[in-house]
Structure 1
Amino acid sequence: MMDMNVSFALSALVVVLAAFMTVTRANAVHALLYLVVLLLALAGIFFQLGAPFAAMLEVIIYAGAIMVLFVFVVMMLNLGATDQRRERAWIVPRVWIGPVLLAGVLLAALLRALAVTAPAGGGGPIGPAQVGLVLYGPYALTVELASFLLLAGLASAFRIGRHLQGGE
Protein backbone atom coordinates (compact mmCIF):
# COMPACT_ATOMS: atom_id res chain seq x y z
CA MET A 1 0.00 0.00 0.00
CA MET A 2 2.88 2.32 0.76
CA ASP A 3 4.28 1.91 -2.76
CA MET A 4 0.94 2.93 -4.25
CA ASN A 5 0.89 6.07 -2.11
CA VAL A 6 4.39 6.97 -3.26
CA SER A 7 3.45 6.34 -6.91
CA PHE A 8 0.30 8.40 -6.53
CA ALA A 9 2.24 11.24 -4.91
CA LEU A 10 4.88 11.18 -7.67
CA SER A 11 2.19 11.20 -10.36
CA ALA A 12 0.39 14.06 -8.63
CA LEU A 13 3.67 15.99 -8.38
CA VAL A 14 4.26 15.47 -12.11
CA VAL A 15 0.72 16.71 -12.85
CA VAL A 16 1.24 19.88 -10.81
CA LEU A 17 4.70 20.63 -12.24
CA ALA A 18 3.66 19.88 -15.82
CA ALA A 19 0.55 22.05 -15.45
CA PHE A 20 2.67 24.92 -14.15
CA MET A 21 5.14 24.51 -17.01
CA THR A 22 2.28 24.29 -19.54
CA VAL A 23 0.81 27.62 -18.59
CA THR A 24 4.13 29.45 -18.17
CA ARG A 25 5.76 28.57 -21.51
CA ALA A 26 5.80 31.27 -24.15
CA ASN A 27 6.46 28.79 -26.94
CA ALA A 28 3.32 26.84 -27.88
CA VAL A 29 5.26 23.70 -28.84
CA HIS A 30 6.94 23.59 -25.42
CA ALA A 31 3.58 24.05 -23.72
CA LEU A 32 2.14 21.19 -25.77
CA LEU A 33 5.00 18.90 -24.71
CA TYR A 34 4.31 19.63 -21.06
CA LEU A 35 0.58 19.16 -21.65
CA VAL A 36 1.22 15.68 -23.06
CA VAL A 37 3.25 14.81 -19.95
CA LEU A 38 0.43 16.17 -17.78
CA LEU A 39 -2.18 14.05 -19.55
CA LEU A 40 -0.03 10.92 -19.27
CA ALA A 41 0.44 11.56 -15.54
CA LEU A 42 -3.33 11.90 -15.16
CA ALA A 43 -3.73 8.56 -16.91
CA GLY A 44 -1.31 7.09 -14.38
CA ILE A 45 -3.42 8.47 -11.54
CA PHE A 46 -6.57 6.95 -13.03
CA PHE A 47 -4.77 3.62 -13.33
CA GLN A 48 -3.61 3.76 -9.72
CA LEU A 49 -7.16 4.53 -8.56
CA GLY A 50 -8.41 1.30 -10.12
CA ALA A 51 -9.80 2.71 -13.37
CA PRO A 52 -7.59 1.24 -16.13
CA PHE A 53 -10.20 1.85 -18.83
CA ALA A 54 -10.45 5.53 -17.89
CA ALA A 55 -6.64 5.67 -17.98
CA MET A 56 -6.58 4.22 -21.49
CA LEU A 57 -9.26 6.66 -22.62
CA GLU A 58 -7.11 9.48 -21.21
CA VAL A 59 -4.13 8.31 -23.24
CA ILE A 60 -5.99 7.55 -26.46
CA ILE A 61 -8.41 10.48 -26.56
CA TYR A 62 -6.61 13.32 -24.80
CA ALA A 63 -2.90 12.55 -25.07
CA GLY A 64 -3.48 11.11 -28.54
CA ALA A 65 -6.31 12.59 -30.57
CA ILE A 66 -6.76 15.98 -28.89
CA MET A 67 -3.02 16.64 -28.82
CA VAL A 68 -2.78 15.82 -32.53
CA LEU A 69 -5.48 18.43 -33.08
CA PHE A 70 -3.55 20.98 -31.00
CA VAL A 71 -0.31 20.27 -32.86
CA PHE A 72 -2.18 20.61 -36.16
CA VAL A 73 -3.52 24.01 -35.10
CA VAL A 74 -0.06 25.17 -34.00
CA MET A 75 1.36 24.02 -37.32
CA MET A 76 -1.45 25.75 -39.18
CA LEU A 77 -0.86 29.03 -37.37
CA ASN A 78 2.84 28.88 -38.23
CA LEU A 79 2.14 27.92 -41.84
CA GLY A 80 4.52 29.64 -44.20
CA ALA A 81 6.94 30.67 -41.46
CA THR A 82 10.45 30.05 -42.78
CA ASP A 83 12.33 30.89 -39.62
CA GLN A 84 14.81 28.00 -39.58
CA ARG A 85 16.54 29.28 -36.45
CA ARG A 86 13.30 29.00 -34.48
CA GLU A 87 12.68 25.49 -35.80
CA ARG A 88 16.21 24.43 -34.83
CA ALA A 89 15.65 25.85 -31.34
CA TRP A 90 12.69 23.48 -30.89
CA ILE A 91 14.88 20.40 -31.27
CA VAL A 92 17.87 21.33 -29.13
CA PRO A 93 18.39 18.98 -26.18
CA ARG A 94 17.87 21.66 -23.52
CA VAL A 95 14.24 22.08 -24.63
CA TRP A 96 13.57 18.42 -23.90
CA ILE A 97 15.14 18.33 -20.43
CA GLY A 98 11.97 19.29 -18.54
CA PRO A 99 9.55 16.93 -20.31
CA VAL A 100 12.07 14.07 -20.16
CA LEU A 101 12.66 14.53 -16.42
CA LEU A 102 8.93 14.67 -15.68
CA ALA A 103 8.27 11.67 -17.92
CA GLY A 104 11.04 9.77 -16.10
CA VAL A 105 9.41 10.48 -12.74
CA LEU A 106 6.11 9.35 -14.22
CA LEU A 107 7.72 6.16 -15.54
CA ALA A 108 9.19 5.39 -12.12
CA ALA A 109 5.78 5.91 -10.52
CA LEU A 110 4.14 3.66 -13.11
CA LEU A 111 6.70 0.91 -12.60
CA ARG A 112 6.16 1.07 -8.85
CA ALA A 113 2.40 0.91 -9.36
CA LEU A 114 2.69 -2.10 -11.67
CA ALA A 115 4.88 -3.91 -9.14
CA VAL A 116 2.10 -3.76 -6.53
CA THR A 117 -0.67 -6.29 -7.18
CA ALA A 118 -3.39 -4.88 -4.91
CA PRO A 119 -5.53 -2.12 -6.48
CA ALA A 120 -5.55 1.22 -4.67
CA GLY A 121 -9.27 1.83 -5.14
CA GLY A 122 -11.98 -0.23 -3.48
CA GLY A 123 -14.16 -0.58 -6.58
CA GLY A 124 -13.86 -2.96 -9.46
CA PRO A 125 -12.59 -2.13 -12.92
CA ILE A 126 -14.58 0.25 -15.09
CA GLY A 127 -15.46 -1.33 -18.42
CA PRO A 128 -16.29 0.17 -21.81
CA ALA A 129 -20.01 -0.45 -21.38
CA GLN A 130 -20.18 1.67 -18.21
CA VAL A 131 -18.21 4.50 -19.82
CA GLY A 132 -20.39 4.39 -22.96
CA LEU A 133 -23.58 4.45 -20.91
CA VAL A 134 -22.40 7.49 -18.97
CA LEU A 135 -21.00 9.39 -21.96
CA TYR A 136 -23.90 8.74 -24.31
CA GLY A 137 -26.62 8.52 -21.66
CA PRO A 138 -27.12 11.53 -19.39
CA TYR A 139 -24.03 13.35 -20.72
CA ALA A 140 -24.67 12.94 -24.47
CA LEU A 141 -25.42 16.64 -24.94
CA THR A 142 -22.26 17.60 -23.03
CA VAL A 143 -20.12 15.32 -25.20
CA GLU A 144 -21.61 16.79 -28.38
CA LEU A 145 -21.16 20.36 -27.11
CA ALA A 146 -17.50 19.60 -26.35
CA SER A 147 -17.01 18.38 -29.93
CA PHE A 148 -18.61 21.58 -31.28
CA LEU A 149 -16.33 23.62 -29.02
CA LEU A 150 -13.26 21.87 -30.45
CA LEU A 151 -14.56 22.44 -33.99
CA ALA A 152 -15.17 26.13 -33.26
CA GLY A 153 -11.66 26.46 -31.82
CA LEU A 154 -10.14 24.85 -34.90
CA ALA A 155 -12.15 27.08 -37.26
CA SER A 156 -11.17 30.16 -35.24
CA ALA A 157 -7.50 29.23 -35.29
CA PHE A 158 -7.68 28.70 -39.05
CA ARG A 159 -9.33 32.09 -39.54
CA ILE A 160 -6.82 33.88 -37.29
CA GLY A 161 -3.93 32.10 -39.01
CA ARG A 162 -5.09 33.13 -42.44
CA HIS A 163 -5.66 36.71 -41.27
CA LEU A 164 -2.17 36.96 -39.71
CA GLN A 165 -0.60 35.74 -42.95
CA GLY A 166 -2.51 38.29 -45.00
CA GLY A 167 -4.90 35.77 -46.54
CA GLU A 168 -8.09 37.80 -46.06
Structure 2
Amino acid sequence: MTAAIFYILSAAALLATLLTITRKNPVHAVIYLVHAFFALALLFYLLGAPLVAAWEVIIYAGAIMVLFLFIIMMLELTPGEGVSGPGWRQWLPVMLLGGVIAACTVLLVVTDPRTAGRLQEFYVSPRDFGYALFEKYALAVEVVSFQLLFAAVGAFYVGRGERARRRARGDER
Protein backbone atom coordinates (compact mmCIF):
# COMPACT_ATOMS: atom_id res chain seq x y z
CA MET A 1 0.00 0.00 0.00
CA THR A 2 2.78 2.41 0.94
CA ALA A 3 4.67 1.67 -2.28
CA ALA A 4 1.56 2.37 -4.37
CA ILE A 5 1.01 5.71 -2.61
CA PHE A 6 4.68 6.55 -3.18
CA TYR A 7 4.45 5.91 -6.92
CA ILE A 8 1.15 7.76 -7.27
CA LEU A 9 2.54 10.81 -5.46
CA SER A 10 5.75 10.65 -7.50
CA ALA A 11 3.75 10.61 -10.73
CA ALA A 12 1.59 13.51 -9.49
CA ALA A 13 4.69 15.54 -8.59
CA LEU A 14 6.28 14.87 -11.99
CA LEU A 15 3.06 15.69 -13.87
CA ALA A 16 2.55 18.91 -11.89
CA THR A 17 6.16 19.93 -12.53
CA LEU A 18 5.79 19.19 -16.24
CA LEU A 19 2.62 21.28 -16.37
CA THR A 20 4.45 24.04 -14.49
CA ILE A 21 7.15 24.42 -17.09
CA THR A 22 4.82 24.14 -20.09
CA ARG A 23 2.21 26.78 -19.11
CA LYS A 24 2.23 30.16 -20.85
CA ASN A 25 0.23 31.84 -18.10
CA PRO A 26 2.56 32.44 -15.13
CA VAL A 27 -0.26 32.28 -12.57
CA HIS A 28 -1.30 28.85 -13.85
CA ALA A 29 2.33 27.74 -13.62
CA VAL A 30 2.44 28.84 -9.97
CA ILE A 31 -0.75 26.87 -9.22
CA TYR A 32 0.77 23.73 -10.72
CA LEU A 33 3.97 24.34 -8.76
CA VAL A 34 1.93 24.48 -5.55
CA HIS A 35 0.47 21.08 -6.49
CA ALA A 36 4.00 19.74 -7.00
CA PHE A 37 5.07 21.07 -3.59
CA PHE A 38 2.10 19.44 -1.87
CA ALA A 39 2.88 16.13 -3.55
CA LEU A 40 6.51 16.43 -2.42
CA ALA A 41 5.39 17.23 1.11
CA LEU A 42 3.30 14.08 1.18
CA LEU A 43 6.29 12.12 -0.14
CA PHE A 44 8.45 13.48 2.67
CA TYR A 45 5.79 12.51 5.20
CA LEU A 46 5.53 9.07 3.67
CA LEU A 47 9.30 8.61 3.94
CA GLY A 48 9.28 9.41 7.65
CA ALA A 49 10.16 13.11 7.68
CA PRO A 50 7.07 14.94 9.00
CA LEU A 51 9.03 18.07 9.93
CA VAL A 52 10.41 18.42 6.41
CA ALA A 53 6.89 17.85 5.05
CA ALA A 54 5.56 20.67 7.25
CA TRP A 55 8.37 22.97 6.13
CA GLU A 56 7.65 22.10 2.50
CA VAL A 57 4.07 23.26 2.93
CA ILE A 58 4.81 26.30 5.09
CA ILE A 59 7.92 27.64 3.35
CA TYR A 60 7.61 26.55 -0.26
CA ALA A 61 3.89 26.13 -0.89
CA GLY A 62 3.19 29.16 1.30
CA ALA A 63 5.88 31.81 1.47
CA ILE A 64 7.82 31.15 -1.74
CA MET A 65 4.64 30.95 -3.81
CA VAL A 66 3.49 34.29 -2.40
CA LEU A 67 6.89 35.68 -3.40
CA PHE A 68 6.48 34.26 -6.93
CA LEU A 69 3.02 35.80 -7.26
CA PHE A 70 4.38 39.11 -5.97
CA ILE A 71 7.13 39.03 -8.61
CA ILE A 72 4.60 38.17 -11.33
CA MET A 73 2.47 41.15 -10.28
CA MET A 74 5.51 43.43 -9.95
CA LEU A 75 6.87 42.55 -13.41
CA GLU A 76 3.36 42.87 -14.89
CA LEU A 77 3.70 39.66 -16.87
CA THR A 78 0.82 39.23 -19.25
CA PRO A 79 -0.67 35.76 -19.58
CA GLY A 80 -0.26 33.86 -22.82
CA GLU A 81 -3.13 32.76 -24.97
CA GLY A 82 -5.67 30.67 -23.11
CA VAL A 83 -7.12 27.35 -24.14
CA SER A 84 -10.04 27.83 -26.50
CA GLY A 85 -13.19 25.89 -25.83
CA PRO A 86 -15.12 24.98 -22.70
CA GLY A 87 -13.74 25.99 -19.33
CA TRP A 88 -13.53 22.37 -18.09
CA ARG A 89 -10.44 21.84 -20.26
CA GLN A 90 -8.57 24.43 -18.26
CA TRP A 91 -9.70 23.05 -14.90
CA LEU A 92 -9.35 19.33 -15.65
CA PRO A 93 -5.60 19.00 -14.88
CA VAL A 94 -5.91 21.07 -11.71
CA MET A 95 -8.88 19.11 -10.45
CA LEU A 96 -7.27 15.77 -11.36
CA LEU A 97 -4.01 16.60 -9.57
CA GLY A 98 -5.89 18.01 -6.59
CA GLY A 99 -8.04 14.88 -6.36
CA VAL A 100 -5.03 12.56 -6.50
CA ILE A 101 -3.20 14.53 -3.82
CA ALA A 102 -6.32 14.68 -1.61
CA ALA A 103 -6.88 10.92 -1.97
CA CYS A 104 -3.26 10.19 -1.07
CA THR A 105 -3.53 12.52 1.92
CA VAL A 106 -6.56 10.61 3.18
CA LEU A 107 -4.75 7.29 2.69
CA LEU A 108 -1.72 8.58 4.60
CA VAL A 109 -3.89 9.81 7.45
CA VAL A 110 -5.58 6.43 7.69
CA THR A 111 -2.31 4.43 7.52
CA ASP A 112 0.72 5.48 9.54
CA PRO A 113 3.80 5.28 7.27
CA ARG A 114 6.18 4.81 10.20
CA THR A 115 4.72 1.40 10.96
CA ALA A 116 4.93 0.21 7.35
CA GLY A 117 7.94 -2.08 7.47
CA ARG A 118 11.39 -0.80 6.60
CA LEU A 119 10.56 2.91 6.81
CA GLN A 120 11.03 2.83 10.57
CA GLU A 121 14.81 2.55 10.23
CA PHE A 122 14.91 5.75 8.15
CA TYR A 123 12.72 7.81 10.47
CA VAL A 124 14.48 10.92 11.81
CA SER A 125 13.11 12.82 14.77
CA PRO A 126 12.66 16.59 14.46
CA ARG A 127 15.32 17.06 17.13
CA ASP A 128 17.93 15.11 15.15
CA PHE A 129 16.97 16.91 11.96
CA GLY A 130 17.26 20.33 13.60
CA TYR A 131 20.62 19.42 15.08
CA ALA A 132 21.95 18.32 11.69
CA LEU A 133 20.55 21.38 9.94
CA PHE A 134 21.78 24.06 12.34
CA GLU A 135 24.98 22.45 13.60
CA LYS A 136 26.37 20.42 10.75
CA TYR A 137 24.97 22.39 7.79
CA ALA A 138 24.70 25.91 9.26
CA LEU A 139 26.94 27.43 6.56
CA ALA A 140 24.79 25.95 3.78
CA VAL A 141 21.64 27.37 5.38
CA GLU A 142 23.24 30.83 5.52
CA VAL A 143 24.41 30.62 1.89
CA VAL A 144 20.89 29.76 0.75
CA SER A 145 19.46 32.66 2.78
CA PHE A 146 21.87 35.06 1.08
CA GLN A 147 20.92 33.67 -2.33
CA LEU A 148 17.26 34.36 -1.57
CA LEU A 149 18.16 37.91 -0.50
CA PHE A 150 20.11 38.50 -3.73
CA ALA A 151 17.20 37.11 -5.77
CA ALA A 152 14.75 39.47 -4.04
CA VAL A 153 17.01 42.50 -4.66
CA GLY A 154 17.44 41.44 -8.30
CA ALA A 155 13.69 41.06 -8.77
CA PHE A 156 13.16 44.51 -7.27
CA TYR A 157 15.71 46.01 -9.65
CA VAL A 158 14.21 44.30 -12.71
CA GLY A 159 10.70 45.30 -11.66
CA ARG A 160 11.53 48.98 -11.25
CA GLY A 161 11.45 49.64 -14.98
CA GLU A 162 13.87 51.35 -17.33
CA ARG A 163 12.73 54.91 -16.58
CA ALA A 164 13.27 54.50 -12.82
CA ARG A 165 16.73 53.02 -13.46
CA ARG A 166 17.71 55.96 -15.71
CA ARG A 167 16.44 58.39 -13.10
CA ALA A 168 18.50 56.63 -10.40
CA ARG A 169 21.62 56.89 -12.60
CA GLY A 170 20.92 60.57 -13.39
CA ASP A 171 20.38 60.02 -17.14
CA GLU A 172 16.79 61.37 -17.17
CA ARG A 173 16.11 63.47 -20.25
- TM bucket, shorter chain: 0.7 to 0.9
Larger Rg over CA atoms: 2
Given the superposition, is the C-alpha separation of residues 161 and 96 from structure 1 closer, same or farther in structure 2, using an over 3 Å criterion? farther
- TM-score, normalised relative to structure 1: 0.81
State the partner residue of 2:168.
Answer: none
Matched, 1:167 2:164: yes
- Contact kept, 8 Å, 1:54 with 1:126, in 2: the verdict is no
* Alpha-carbon displacement from aligned partner over 1:130-162 (angstroms, at most 9, x marks no partner): 222122112111111111111111111111111
Aligned with residue 31 of structure 1, among 15, 21, 29: 29
Aligned with residue 61 of structure 2, among 47, 51, 63: 63
Matched, 1:111 2:106: yes
Quote the Cα distance in structure 1 between the aligned partners of 2:71 and 2:129.
29
Of structures 1 and 2, the one scoring higher in RCO (CA 8 A, sep 6+) is: 1
- Aligned-residue identity in percent: 40
Aligned with residue 76 of structure 1, among 49, 63, 74: 74
Q: Which ranges of structure 1 fall in alignment gaps of 5 or more residues?
A: none
Query: Aligned letter for 2:126?
Result: P
Quote the Cα distance in structure 2 between the aligned partners of 1:152 and 1:96.
35
Equivalenced residues, count: 156
Aligned residue runs from structure 1 range 42-57, under 5 A: 42-57=40-55
Q: Which ranges of structure 2 fall in alignment gaps of 5 or more residues?
A: 166-173
- TM-score, normalised relative to structure 2: 0.79
